[in-house]
Amino acid sequence: MSVLFSDKLRFLDTTLRDGEQTPGVSLNPEQKFEVASRLSDIGIDAIEAGSAAASDGEREAIRRIADAGLNTEICTFSRALHLDIDYAADCNADSIHLVVPVSDLHIAKKMRKTRDEVVAMALDAVRYAKDRGLIVELSGEDASRADQQFLCDLFTRGVEHGADRLCFCDTVGLLTPEKVAEFVPPLAKIAPLSIHCHDDLGFALANTLAALKAGASCTHVTVNGLGERAGNTPFEEVVMALEVLYGYRTRIQKEKIYPLASLVSRHTGVPLAVNKAIVGEMAFTHESGIHAHGIIREPTTYESVKPEMVGRKRRIVLGKHSGTASVEAALQEMAYKADDKQVKEIVKRVKQLGDEGKRVTDADLMAVADAVLAIECKPVIKMRQFTATSGSNMIPTASVTLVVNGQEMTGAATGDGPVDAAMAVLRKCVSDVADIRLEEYHVDAISGGTDALVEVTVRLSKDGKIITSRGARTDIIMASVEAMIAGMNRLLRDRT
Ligand code: MN
């Protein structure tokens, strides 16, 4: 166990409150419940499930989460108002995150009150919440800009009135690790202290770790760093920083981090930045020749975290930076046998594709390898006809006739749109031969305008084998069909 930190660090996740305050994000009660269950399952100590005062739907969601018997403390945001506290208690929450503005700026400009009035409100709210049987985490909003002596006195009196825990909120992301080292120790002596940071200047993780080192025993986090403006301290980053950089063993089930990140991204509609630490698409993807070469020999040469630790897989993609080692590794994985001269030629052609600005898919590499090795690729699937219809007051439908292994198959399927219907009917027609799943679907318009060339990339899997392939047409539906058929042919081809 690390000597730097309290041996019982707690995580309070506020994805469902501060995270949901991300502009444009709103989860329905069903989605909130699913996220809460997964947070509990991964090992979060407390979940701030929402603001009970916000709406009927919010209260329904909080009550459902609180009544589910999760092995996690359920908390709700509350202002220093009896009304908010009543809502929290009526939702069966275990605790409240009782937020009181503490900087003179917030007290005077936002609240239009005096320090004494705010203190009186805070103490009254603490007492009232304790009467209603709630655990109280008394939280100083905009604490970074507060008179620290005033904050210390307020927290001391709050604890005297029954507050169980305290929280230092860096509401607009103005802390530095140096300020944390000065502000946190006296406050952490009063009662167990949480730290709540925002990432406006990219300091949330550094400030959080500094606060934990300075005596705070709980960190507020959000999955994927969602939250107001630039967001809160990302859960996945604190966990992995503690574990990898400080040797601190959390109780978090780390291999569930990526599935949770994906779920939250899906439900909130906020995509993961491709270069986001730990959970971004590129976090464990390598292209450059030198790096990929190192990774293939020994992953720790260019990786600080093992992808499997957080539920992910390493990916080596091919492009103009690819070297012989990554191309050889990819060929080996696809069971091609090529001599040095052939590999050299394949690398050259892969780089050419990269130079044209293309992402080199598995199907591209196979086509190049087939050409260089002069292997004739007999397609398993051929398409005879394809129709897709869409419009208003009708159900998008696609029909297709394929020849699979010499046998003609005709089918039809409906979908959420013509592309969805097309994907469905293609999978349906080959389902007798193989269970092919569509793992990912991605569209790029190459140039502007409605006549632009559309490039569709799909990731398909069959029995754990994954392949990417591409179609490029001015017709998005046909580009999708082309990508699917190319990928399915590659997956179904018997190479052994
Ligand atoms: Mn906040």
Do 67 and 192 lie in one domain? The reply is yes
Whether 354 and 444 share a structural domain: no
Q: How far is the CA of 69 from the centre of ligand 1 (A)?
A: 27
**Cβ proximity of 96 and 137 under 8 Å:** yes
- Integer Cα distance of 114 and 293 in angstroms: 64
Per-residue b/e over 365-397, b at no fewer than 16 CB within 10 Å? bbbbbeebeeeeeeebbebeebebeeeeeeebb
Whether 59 and 161 share a structural domain: yes
291 and 252 in a common domain: no
**Separation of 299 CA from ligand 1 center, angstroms?**
37
Question: Measured in angstroms, how far is the CA atom of residue 73 from the centroid of ligand 1?
Answer: 19
Q: What are the distances in angstroms from CA 74 to CA 51, 62, 65?
A: 12, 8, 8
Which tens digits make up the pLDDT trace of 417-476? 999 999 999 999 888 888 899 988 988 876 667 777 788 889 999 888 888 888 888 889
Report the C-alpha gap between 20 and 26 in whole angstroms: 6
User: Which one, of 329, 310, 315, 309, lies nearest residue 285 by Cα?
Assistant: 315
* 178/236 same-domain check: yes
Give the integer Cα–Cα distance in Å for 261 and 258. 5
Domain assignment of residue 204, yes or no = yes
212 C-alpha to ligand 1 centroid (Å): 18
Ligand 1 centroid to residue 228 C-alpha, Å: 6
468 within domain boundaries: yes
For 116-136, how does the pLDDT look when each residue is reduced to its tens digit (9 = 90+)? Answer: 999 999 999 999 999 999 999
Residues 50 and 189 in one domain: yes
Kindly tell me if the per-residue pLDDT of 4 is higher than 80. no
Q: Please state whether 3 falls in left (phi above 0), alpha (psi between -120 and 50) or beta.
A: alpha
Q: 116 C-alpha vs ligand 1 centroid, how far in Å?
A: 24
Nearest to 32 by CA among 59, 71, 72, 53: 59
Torsion of CA 89, 90, 93, 97, to 10 degrees: -50
In a domain, 275, yes or no: no
Band of residue 406 on the pLDDT scale cut at 50, 70, 90: confident
Looking at the DSSP bridge assignments, the partners of residue 401 are: 385, 410
Q: Residue 315: inside a domain, yes or no?
A: yes
Q: How far apart are CA 365 and CA 318, in angstroms?
A: 8
Residue 496 above 80 pLDDT?
no
In a domain, 276, yes or no: no
CA dist list (Å): 148 to 151, 194, 198, 215, 375: 5, 16, 19, 16, 74
Q: Which domain does 442 fall in, by range?
A: 381-492
Q: Is residue 226 part of a domain?
A: yes
CATH number at residue 204: 3.20.20.70
Q: Among residues 85, 165, 170, 164, which one has the least CA distance to residue 128?
A: 85
Residue 495 pLDDT more than 80?
A: no
For residue range 222-262, what is the model confidence (pLDDT) as tens digits? 999 999 999 999 999 999 999 999 999 999 999 999 999 99
What's the CA-to-centroid distance between 32 and ligand 1, angstroms? 18
Domain count, the chain: 3
Encoding tokens for residue 88?
């929290």
- CA–centroid distance, 142 to ligand 1, in Å, is 9
Distance 103 CA to ligand 1 centre (A): 15
pLDDT of residue 362: 82
CA-atom Rg of the chain in angstroms: 28
**End-of-domain residue from the set 348, 373, 398:** 373
**Residue 440: CATH number of its domain:** 3.30.160.270
Of the chain, the percentage scoring pLDDT greater than 70 comes to: 98
- Asked whether residue 103 falls in the same domain as residue 238, the answer is yes
Cα of 114 from ligand 1 centre, angstroms = 23
Question: Which tokens hold the place of 219?
Answer: 């960190």
Which of 268, 293, 322 marks a domain boundary?
Answer: 268
Output the CA 46–ligand 1 centroid distance in Å: 16
The whole-number pLDDT of residue 87 equals 98
Q: What's the CA-to-centroid distance between 120 and ligand 1, angstroms? A: 23
CA of 222 to the centre of ligand 1 (A): 10
Indicate whether 435 and 362 sit together in one domain: no
CA of 274 relative to ligand 1 center, distance in Å: 24
Q: What is the mean pLDDT of residues 377-383?
A: 83
CATH of the domain at 307: 1.10.238
CA 80–ligand 1 middle distance (angstroms) = 16
Q: How remote is the CA of residue 196 from the centroid of ligand 1, in Å?
A: 7
Neighbours of 229 (CB within 10 A): 13
